[in-house]
C-alpha cells in the first residue's frame, strides 16, 4: 500500500501497535519450561484484547496466531507442545489485522543462559535491519536496502537467507514489492513516498540454505546452524523511514 491519506497512515500505525503489544506480551511470558503453544496463546490473547485479528491463522492453512521458530528453525515454526529451555533462541513473528490494515513484526528472544555467539547473532539481525533503514527513503531503490542488509550481515560472518524476503504490506499481509535481504545497489523498484514495507532480515550462524519440513511450514537451516529474525513494518518517507512496530 502507498499511504496517501491520514486514515491509511493511522490505520497502519494502529495495526502495528497491536503487533508490538503482542510481541511485548510474548517477551514478558517466555521462560524455560513454557511450550511454544503457551507462547502462541499469550500472543493471541494480546491481539484479541486489543481488538485485532491474528492474520496468520488460516493464511494458506497456517494453524496459529504466531510463528514460533526455535534455534535452527529460521521462520514459520508451528506452535507445539515443545518446551523452550535455557539456552534456546526463540523467534516470534506476528501479523495483525486491525480495521482492514496489517502490521507485521518479528523478534528473536534469548531464553535463560544463551551462548555469546547466539546473543551476537540476535543483535546482528537487528543491526542488519538498521543497516537497511539507512537506505529507506523515497527515490532510493529496493536493492539499496537489500544490499545494505546483505553487506552488513556477510561482513559480520552470517549467512543471509534467500528463500524468503520482506514485502510490501497494507490491506494485505503480502503485497508488492518483494524486499529481499540480498541484492544489488541501484537495482529493483523505486521506493515511493508512503510505500509500506515489512523489512525482515533472516540470518544464520552458518550457511544461508534452508529447507521446509514435511509439515509444509517449518523452515530450518540445512546445516543446523541457529538463525535469528528481526522484522518491522515501515513507511517510506521523503526523509527516511517511519518504523511502526517499535
Interface residues toward ligand MF3, by CB under 6 A: 56, 59-60, 62, 67, 76, 93, 95, 104, 198, 200, 231
| Min dist. Cβ of residue 112 to Co ion (A) | 25
CB of 68 closer than 8 Å to CB of 41: no
Residue 35 DSSP symbol: B
Whichever of 65 and 114 has its CB closer to ligand MF3, that residue is: 65
| Min dist. Cβ of residue 30 to ligand MF3 (A) | 18
C-alpha cell at 116: 555469546
- Three-state DSSP class for residue 100: coil
Sign of the Cα pseudo-torsion (53, 59, 62, 68, in order)? negative
| Min dist. Cβ of residue 158 to ligand MF3 (A) | 19
Residue 195 DSSP symbol: B
Residue whose C-alpha cell reads 514459520 in the numeric block: 76
| Min dist. Cβ of residue 116 to Co ion (A) | 27
| Paired residues of 75 in beta bridges | 219
94-123 footprint of Co ion as x/- string (CB under 5 A): ----------x-x-----------------
- Three-state DSSP class for residue 90: strand
Total of residues contacting Co ion (CB under 5 A): 5
Q: Residue 59 binds which one of ligand MF3, Co ion, none, with CB within 5 to 8 A depending on kind?
A: ligand MF3
Residues that bind Co ion (CB under 5 A): 93, 104, 106, 198, 231
Amino acid at each position: 500500500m502507498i499511504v496517501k491519506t491520514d486514515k491509511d497512515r493511522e490505520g497502519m500505525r494502529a495495526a502495528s501497535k497491536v503487533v508490538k503489544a503482542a510481541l511485548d506480551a510474548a517477551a514478558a511470558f517466555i521462560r524455560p519450561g513454557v511450550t511454544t503453544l503457551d507462547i502462541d496463546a499469550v500472543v493471541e490473547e494480546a491481539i484479541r484484547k486489543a481488538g485485532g485479528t491474528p492474520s496468520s491463522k488460516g493464511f494458506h492453512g497456517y494453524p496459529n496466531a504466531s510463528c514460533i521458530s526455535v534455534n535452527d528453525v529460521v521462520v514459520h515454526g508451528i506452535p507445539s507442545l515443545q518446551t523452550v529451555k535455557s539456552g534456546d533462541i526463540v523467534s516470534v513473528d506476528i501479523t495483525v489485522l486491525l480495521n482492514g490494515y496489517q502490521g507485521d513484526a518479528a523478534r528473536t528472544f534469548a531464553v535463560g543462559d544463551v551462548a555469546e555467539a547466539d546473543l551476537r547473532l540476535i543483535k546482528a539481525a537487528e543491526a542488519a535491519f538498521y543497516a537497511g533503514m539507512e537506505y529507506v527513503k523515497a527515490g532510493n531503490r529496493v536493492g539499496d536496502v537489500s544490499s545494505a542488509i546483505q553487506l552488513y550481515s556477510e561482513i559480520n560472518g552470517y549467512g543471509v537467507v534467500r528463500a524468503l524476503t520482506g514485502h510490501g504490506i497494507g490491506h494485505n499481509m503480502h503485497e508488492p514489492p518483494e524486499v529481499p535481504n540480498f541484492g544489488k545497489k541501484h537495482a529493483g523498484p523505486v521506493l515511493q513516498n508512503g510505500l509500506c514495507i515489512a523489512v525482515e532480515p533472516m540470518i544464520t550462524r552458518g550457511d544461508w540454505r534452508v529447507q521446509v519440513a514435511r509439515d509444509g511450514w517449518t523452515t530450518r537451516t540445512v546445516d543446523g546452524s541457529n538463525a535469528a529474525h528481526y522484522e518491522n513494518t515501515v513507511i517510506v518517507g521523503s526523509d527516511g523511514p517511519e518504523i511502526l512496530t517499535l
